[in-house]
Structure 1
């Protein structure tokens, strides 16, 4: 049973209910401030943040280095558009390319924009380089995918909540089972310009494919002359213990989409990074964004790149993984059916008899831990990478308490 709402929380929720479109169903927590891995609501109650804004706050709330970079740029210039060159974008692009081992950067704002951009680039490359006949380019995607919610992207979603009632749908996509290299090979033909995959499916419940899968995808793409596009918007930038999740299995995609943590939890920043041979197909005027690559975003992004270049956050995720995995192992059979862990990222399947993922998430919020459900009785745990071992123990201990109470 949920605890009673505080006076300020109840008032804020009433305003939101009246004034906002109901495209989200959030937990009844109204956050007013945050520091590190914790947040506080409008009634002064504190919580451990176990979601980190879907990994957008990997470096913690109120990170002093990121705030300093943003404040310094706010006093200079924040937006010029790409009609002119600003002094922050070039260094940001060079730094991000170096960090990711790529040649070029296409800056955008949101994750969905990065995916849309990668789709456009892949099609242009297919027509201009591979020689696919006009209008026939095919992109292969995986079942259980989540790449955003634009009309093009939901056209190849198999999640009814994202897909249904938003047609007519954009053609040109073919879906294969995630993690099945044989099925991918069977789906390939001369019209395929790209294979678009999440190295780890975050929204799907932190689904980790077999270790052989991504290398096989790389080989199949090479064999059929197609691009491998990795969506690292949630999995990238330290979350799994590596700068990129593909590095866990030593794979190098042709294009990588980045977002969320790239803006440090301060401004929306996304990008497509990749080889010069692929991103170089774009011509002036074919793609753009008024805000993409703006000076404020680039200044914050440069500091993110600098921090990741030091490796501290990647090491923290790697160091925290055994603790998180071990604590969840102890709950298997005690209400946890199964779990999947990569760095400081976990998908936790709860016994459906004990409740839905949202019900478990609400119970955890009542105990001061914020997480998010995915589908059915699966919840995700993805705290800021500054989380301490004691805070991890607190969060998983709270989960144990919730499951014990529900099974009593």
Structure 2
């Protein structure tokens, strides 16, 4: 394992300066310029290697340059990449059939980005509410959870409570009710005759890998069933092996009406997302009511099918489960030694750093200097989400780097 140098070279700084001058400033990246990647490791423009413990927010679950996924993409690139949904293509049918079977559902709506999947799920839920449940026109409401992150489109930020996502982007879309996450009683009180869906993250990612009580999702499932309300699980970050199961809902034995999938579904190669459900719900859509020029394109379907095939064996899920147990066991040693709390499931951890010690950004900057890439969120919380192909020794090394950074901070030493 090679640690990164503490200085930003001329080559890197030039790349950063060009990006800062010409790209909109909607992100604040760490000062590293990645040029290539293999497995759980990436290499910058100067040839220095870093252990990637973010995996593009779980989009790279199966590792950088995964040979199986690259082969699927290359083969399809030589054939055809885009037809639009004006015509059929030979890859879409096998992809949606196998993805539906993986989720135990019979229908798939293919889209591109995670936010598109969420927007699509909202439209489907409203149409189902009017056409099946019988809700009066324009009266449908959807219940969401406080602290949620489902994307940053105008509709989605309408029910966000993050001021960074909301401020200066109104007026907002009506029709949403927010209740505390993990509180089934509050959710029950919010349901009325016009409620068409509950949209929930089984584990809240951006909020800091917040795991609800074990009885929460089963209680939400029961409430939705009793009240004839759709349960929509946003598994865009938590799904497809990340938590040690195919879906985070599997951890508590819950089956939602709709799964929202994205990120890892494209294998880190191409944006692929989907709404997955049964025909009694997804079947409410009629031709022309919803669509996407790129959604379900042959290249995306070929890569998505290869992803599904990786997950069908269960090997990736088992790897995340076993290495996740190792990760959490090692991280638990640091509680009380600069760490306040650790949460998560599988190869996914939210780590609360003592706010008197450092911010999450400061910790991530020090980790970067040591050759480890992670991402902060909400003050002093950092997240670890390495590719599921990470080596066991690298899991141990990652925790050792965090431990060393915490020791430096506690001793007051510079990075």
TM more than 0.5: yes
Give the Cα separation in 1 of the matches to 2:144 and 2:225.
17
How far the C-alpha of 1:229 sits from its partner, in A, is 0.3
Deviations 1:127-149 (A, max 9, x none): 00000000100000000000000
Aligned to 1:360: 363
**Does the aligned pair in 2 maintain the 1:7–1:43 contact within 8 Å?**
no
For the pair 1:234 / 2:240, whether they are aligned, the reply is: no
Aligned to 1:150: 153
How far the C-alpha of 1:21 sits from its partner, in A, is 0.4
Deviations 1:90-130 (A, max 9, x none): 00000000111111000000000000000000000000000
How far the C-alpha of 1:389 sits from its partner, in A, is 1.1
- Describe the SS at the equivalent of 1:230: strand
Aligned to 2:288: 285
For the pair 1:295 / 2:298, whether they are aligned, the reply is: yes
Of residues 334, 341, 345 in structure 2, which corresponds to 1:338? 341
- Describe the SS at the equivalent of 1:353: coil
Aligned to 1:65: 68
Aligned to 2:375: 372
Give the Cα separation in 1 of the matches to 2:329 and 2:235.
26
How far the C-alpha of 1:341 sits from its partner, in A, is 2.3
How far the C-alpha of 1:386 sits from its partner, in A, is 0.3
- Describe the SS at the equivalent of 1:354: coil
Give the Cα separation in 2 of the matches to 1:110 and 1:17.
24
For the pair 1:259 / 2:269, whether they are aligned, the reply is: no
For the pair 1:269 / 2:244, whether they are aligned, the reply is: no
Give the Cα separation in 2 of the matches to 1:163 and 1:89.
36
- Describe the SS at the equivalent of 1:13: helix
Aligned to 2:394: 391
Unaligned runs of 5+ in 1: none
- Describe the SS at the equivalent of 1:352: coil
TM alignment of 1:65-214, pairs within 5 A? 65-214=68-217
Aligned to 1:315: 318
Aligned to 2:41: 38
How far the C-alpha of 1:187 sits from its partner, in A, is 0.6
How far the C-alpha of 1:78 sits from its partner, in A, is 0.1
Structural RMSD (CA): 0.7
- Describe the SS at the equivalent of 2:238: coil
- Describe the SS at the equivalent of 2:356: helix
Deviations 1:191-244 (A, max 9, x none): 100000000000010000001000000000111110000000000000001111
Aligned to 1:16: 19
Give the Cα separation in 2 of the matches to 1:322 and 1:176.
31
Give the Cα separation in 2 of the matches to 1:276 and 1:17.
46
Runs of 4+ in 1 over 2 A off after TM superposition: none
Give the Cα separation in 2 of the matches to 1:90 and 1:263.
16
Aligned to 1:53: 56
Give the Cα separation in 1 of the matches to 2:177 and 2:33.
40
Unaligned runs of 5+ in 2: none
Tell me the number of residue pairs that the alignment of Structure 1 and Structure 2 aligns.
407
How far the C-alpha of 1:343 sits from its partner, in A, is 0.4
For the pair 1:406 / 2:409, whether they are aligned, the reply is: yes
TM-score, with normalisation over the residues of structure 1?
A: 0.99
Give the Cα separation in 1 of the matches to 2:285 and 2:274.
14
**Does the aligned pair in 2 maintain the 1:198–1:231 contact within 8 Å?**
yes
**Does the aligned pair in 2 maintain the 1:364–1:402 contact within 8 Å?**
yes
Deviations 1:1-58 (A, max 9, x none): x922012111100101100100000000100000000000001110000000000000
